[in-house]
Amino acid sequence: MNILVMNGPNLNMLGMREPDIYGHETLGDIEAQCRQLAAGHGMELDWFQSNLEGELIEKIQQAVGKVDWIIINAAGLTHTSVVLRDALSLFPGEVIEVHLSNVHSRESFRHVSLISAIAKGVIAGFGASSYYMAINAIPNLHSET
């Protein structure tokens, strides 16, 4: 089983960006743990981060036919990007939306996700563990599909 973990704008700044909200772990720290978890489940993991909407869309299109699951933290694009949602809609596999913070306890503009309606599930508010929960859930969710 192949998984693509996608990370949107500003997530490359984790560890230094608002650590009281996003924690002290870097994106590299999270990636290393995700790779270890995926390997433990016998899954292949591709990791991608971009601050550019178009690069995220191209990565989704390239994943068609090669990847079974996309785990995405679209960051601020979650609330604004119709084109990112459309790209995820054309992906024939499953999508899990993740967020480090509990977006529903923050500013009201963060309460709306354009991605949630097309995702298999949403995990938010558990810091880096949101990613780990998504990876650990896939083997069970995959057997249901």
How much is the pLDDT for 112? 77
Residue 99 appears among annotated catalytic residues = yes
Q: Is the dihedral of CA 100, 119, 75, 5 positive or negative?
A: positive
Q: How far apart are CA 4 and CA 46, in angstroms?
A: 5
How much is the pLDDT for 111? 58
How much is the pLDDT for 110? 59
How much is the pLDDT for 4? 98
Domain boundaries, the chain: 2-144
Contact between 70 and 63 under an 8 Å Cβ cutoff? The reply is yes
- pTM across the whole model: 0.91
Query: CA neighbours within 13 Å on the CB side: how many for 103?
Result: 21
Query: What residues in the chain have per-residue pLDDT under 50?
Result: none
Residue 24 appears among annotated catalytic residues = no
Out of 24, 41, 79, 99, which one is annotated catalytic? 99
How much is the pLDDT for 97? 97
How much is the pLDDT for 14? 84
How much is the pLDDT for 102? 74
How much is the pLDDT for 143? 64
Q: What is the CATH number of domain 2-144?
A: 3.40.50.9100
